[in-house]
Structure 1
């Protein structure tokens, strides 16, 4: 089968690579993800991997020099690879190799091999496809494992025995789930069973590498496709046991609760239709994480999960720490949304005070719209009339909050009187009284006792200062 490369915007690069390889007496092939995505006609292709039966480093340097003698080539001698950037592309070269693995490591022993050896070491048949750029068969598809058929049937299958494949490099199990989720492919039955068998081998893989794949699953159009497979194959409990702890339904005195695990997956899918913000998707994934440890059956009331948002927000930090996820603003953002996740819905009441709305505005700040997106995604009832009612109720609350914000300007609240002004008013030095008075001003504004106004704040401070024994300066 010949692949027509003349229509590719990279055709000139491919022809030049072919000429340079011929001059060097080397073979050259395009391999891996570029070939797969080219055949699937998937979007913008920016990474190209070349393999040669010889030195990949030597070929990379020769091609880079031909393109531009000043082009910088990054060399990784330990791996026998080299790469350079050109015309918006990341171009990588590797010498064909074969690999063997030790029991307790996913780092293989590598030796020089043929193209066939190199294709055998690939994770899936759809990634083992190669296109020849050699002059005698330019454009010919080299497909020893019938990967083209697997592409057509949307099947993920390993070139060699799946148990051995996953045992050798357990990260391939995460890659299988990732491709199933991002490409909407089915993992072939024996391969799926092998993942279940070898799932515990994932423990030898660094959490950083696992998270790279997991986050790609989270960024797929429908993350539940991958999350379901992770649960089915027993990989998910190895990564986020707090999530699988939500699974299951209990019944006491004829009263049940919803399965919060499957509900969570629905929420993640819902939110993924409306945002590409990875951390907002993580907030959806963890929004009910505190429900398992707070679940309780109360006589006469039924199942309760009191305080699950507060506990869940505390759990976020330990989960992020264990998963080697960022512990800075991204983690705090997820914590905030988990903690506030039920607040807007709790305000659905004609009698809700402006003070409660102002407090939500103050606590959510710039993340209020993201909180609304999470709240809407959290509506998973299949009853269309209930769903419509919940959405109308939510919009009612959102509108009330917008009206309060327009009137009181609470979002990103800054006290209308500064610490410096308070010190001048009473001719005092920095001390705890300043913090006490500023906090009182904030509370008074949130409770609606005074408006968010400098004059009212100043008069309020003068009055409150008497209880602290402060005297107005002359």
Structure 2
């Protein structure tokens, strides 16, 4: 690439301003990292821009902000020697060039001022160490000491320095290597991959929050299985998500085998990723079978069974989220619900689809019935074209039935047609178990199709049921 073409990357006036301000302060500045990488890969223009200066990043940020329209606030992170400016749609992070050294028990470095070369040495990967100069003398010049440009062309993830030192110093880089390989569809250099395996135990000093942040990015990528295969290959997955690796393997007893539920799970995650960007639905796909490892049994008569694996799996979701410091709120409850109900539409699609069964499915899934169907369709991993067609057709029948039943019976986000207060008034009751019994009986009658989901029918049913319970009306 010519220097002129690199100038095209930094044509936004903000870069000229940073360069001029830097010169006023008597320092040199460069744009480095993801902005340069993604420009060279033609992945669009990132909104996060890292600026490294041979001096104080905080001082440069303050001076730049004072010249910008509206004088944006500067967020200063003294401990890290960094400063951030939000300007228009951009997030500009300023840092002074530095060199780092690490203690074995921490991924927090001891930092000293350094040169641009020192700063490029401390970068995680060669493709993230490419810099573009913002200085008057060499504006737009590409500085690429580790041939990151060549690695971009080869689609290779490689560390600037010895990989074992890079990963041992900051073990989060192991997750980042796998995440970049997944997002960019790159290969991790063999030496680097071996170093990740050798340093896998070091991941234990990294906070759960940072690990999960990388896992989220892997799960949200176009083909998450790339990342999970690498996590498995390097044994990081055994440490982070043992519930998943416990699914691996095929056992055979008396000629009867079960499928490998680990590799099946990765196929399901890839399938669902073609149809949704919902992070938590993708998590549900990843965890939908985790209950199969603890519930696996062999019976001479029935062969391999995984009795109640959905129920067990939904309980495991809570423990897993808690261990990994993930949110224990509605997001976790959504994943639990999807795991718990993951087989319901499958059973429906295999049997004759009755209105009653569909009503119960819609009632139990509520607003998430669409998500549940998306998960179940992703669960079709058979390689037999005839079976695949059959399953997909059956799911279409279930989907049509859901629309019909919902239009007619309105059981999604069900509210009982007759309220508890009305029951108390009709039968002159104080709060008691009888009210609960009547409400439940009305709900069951609607779900079974005995009565329509309408006030008058529910009211008459309540009177008859109350009479059978020897309740007297006013």
User: Which stretch shows the higher mean deviation, 437-446 or 122-131?
Assistant: 437-446
Contact 1:5/1:11 (8 A) holds in 2:
no
In structure 2, the partner of 1:166 is 167
- Alpha-carbon distance between aligned partners in 2 of 1:179 and 1:222, rounded to the nearest angstrom: 12
Output aligned runs, 1:186-265, within 5 Å: 186-265=187-266
Match of 1:436 in 2: 437
> Alignment RMSD, CA only?
1.4
1:175-186 paired onto structure 2 within 5 Å: 175-186=176-187
Conserved in 2, the CA contact under 8 Å of 1:3 and 1:131? no
Distance 1:453 1:10 in 2: 65
Q: 1:156: how far off?
A: 0.5
> Residue in 2 aligned with 1:347?
348
Give, in angstroms, the shift of residue 291 of structure 1.
0.8
Instruction: Report if aligned partners of 1:3, 1:141 keep a CA contact under 8 Å in 2.
Output: no
The structural deviation recorded for 1:442 is: 0.7
Whole-Å Cα distance in 2 between the matches of residues 351 and 31 of structure 1? 60
Matches within 5 A, 1:30-429: 30-68=31-69, 70-348=71-349, 351-429=352-430
Q: Is the 8 A contact 2:9 2:39 kept in 1?
A: no
Post-superposition, which runs of at least 4 consecutive aligned residues in structure 1 deviate over 6 A? none
Paired residue total: 473
1:11 offset after TM fit, Å? 2.6
CA 1:299–1:31 in structure 2 vs 1: closer, same or farther (change >3 Å)?
same
SS of equivalent to 2:92: strand
Q: Is the 8 A contact 2:321 2:327 kept in 1?
A: yes
Write the deviation string for residues 173-206 of structure 1: whole angstroms up to 9, x where unpaired.
0000000000111000100000000000000001
Q: TM-score, normalised by structure 2?
A: 0.97
Structure 2, unmatched stretches of 5+, are none
- The structural deviation recorded for 1:288 is 0.8
Whether contact under 8 Å (1:268, 1:281) holds in the other structure is yes
Question: Any conservation in 1 of the 2:28–2:54 contact (CA below 8 Å)?
Answer: yes
**1-side partners of 2:115 and 2:390: how far apart?**
64
SS in 1 for 2:199: helix
Gaps of 5+ in 1: none
Distance 2:95 2:28 in 1: 12
Classify 1:425/1:31 alpha carbon distance in 2 versus 1 (closer, same or farther; 3 Å): same
Deviation, structure 1 residue 305: 1.1
Normalization by structure 1: what TM-score?
0.97
Structure 1 pair 412–138 and aligned structure 2 pair: CA distance change class (3 A): same
